[in-house]
């Protein structure tokens, strides 16, 4: 089974259990790399043309503005030849209750007909939010499995949870 791991992640200042901290690798990316080791999937990072600020407070305002205006912020590349994969795992941080709008930009341009789609969301308290219902709208024709929510500040020790979910959704 060939897997595409499509993920958005931001390595910069972020909020961890009540305080701000600068991280070199985003939480979602940490989990994406763990998943790639489990199934040998292909990693594809969504790369914004204009990334959100490294400053946390600026970033949350930028993301809020994009959500409110239902924006489709530009990304550098959208995955091509998705037909070669049996399933696509979509991974993202929870931004204001759903996926970052860059994910909407990408998913809208892909063809999910006949594909199995799985979602993993990292978050700081709100779980998957409404991301699963948004995925249902965006990934038309896909068989969407139950998603996995992982707290961002716990990604260092999510291995057992991830393995179990991976086995149950393949």
Ligand X SMILES: Cc1cc2nc3c(=O)[nH]c(=O)nc-3n(C[C@H](O)[C@H](O)[C@H](O)COP(=O)(O)O)c2cc1C
Q: Residue 73 and residue 158: Cα distance in Å, rounded?
A: 30
Give min distance, CB of 127 to ligand X, in A.
7
Cβ atoms of 110 and 82 within 8 Å: the answer is yes
Q: Could you please report the per-residue DSSP string of 24-66?
A: SS-HHHHHHHHHHHHH-PEEEE--BSSPPPSSHHHHHHHHHHH
Give min distance, CB of 168 to ligand X, in A.
22
Task: Choose between 26 and 147: whose C-beta lies nearer to ligand X.
Answer: 26
10: contact with ligand X by CB under 6 A: yes
102: contact with ligand X by CB under 6 A: no
147: contact with ligand X by CB under 6 A: no
Cβ atoms of 12 and 2 within 8 Å: the answer is no
26: contact with ligand X by CB under 6 A: yes
Which neighbouring-strand residues pair with 88? Answer: 4, 117
Q: Residue 16 and residue 151: Cα distance in Å, rounded?
A: 10
Determine how many CB atoms are found less than 10 A away from the CB of residue 30.
18
126: contact with ligand X by CB under 6 A: yes
Task: Choose between 67 and 82: whose C-beta lies nearer to ligand X.
Answer: 67
Among residues 41, 73, 147, 152, which is the contact residue for ligand X, using CB under 6 A?
152
Question: Contact letters (x/-) for ligand X, 61-100, by CB under 6 A?
Answer: --x-----------------------------xxxxx---
Which residues are at the interface with ligand X (CB under 6 A)? 9-10, 14, 26-29, 59-60, 63, 93-97, 122-126, 152
């Amino acid at each position: 089974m060939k897997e595409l791991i499509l993920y958005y992640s931001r390595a910069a200042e972020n909020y961890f259990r009540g305080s701000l901290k600068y991280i070199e690798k985003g939480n979602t990316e940490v989990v994406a790399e763990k998943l790639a080791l489990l199934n040998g999937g292909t990693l594809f990072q969504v790369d914004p043309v204009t990334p959100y600020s490294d400053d946390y407070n600026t970033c949350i305002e930028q993301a809020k503005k994009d959500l409110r205006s239902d924006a489709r912020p530009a990304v550098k590349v959208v995955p091509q030849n998705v037909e070669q994969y049996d399933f696509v795992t979509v991974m993202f941080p929870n931004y204001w209750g759903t996926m970052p709008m860059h994910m909407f930009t990408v998913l809208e341009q892909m063809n999910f007909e006949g594909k199995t789609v799985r979602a993993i969301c990292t978050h700081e308290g709100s779980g998957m939010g409404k991301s699963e219902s948004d995925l249902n709208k965006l990934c038309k024709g896909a068989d969407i499995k139950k998603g996995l929510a992982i707290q961002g500040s716990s990604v260092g020790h999510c291995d057992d949870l991830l393995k179990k979910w991976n086995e149950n959704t393949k």
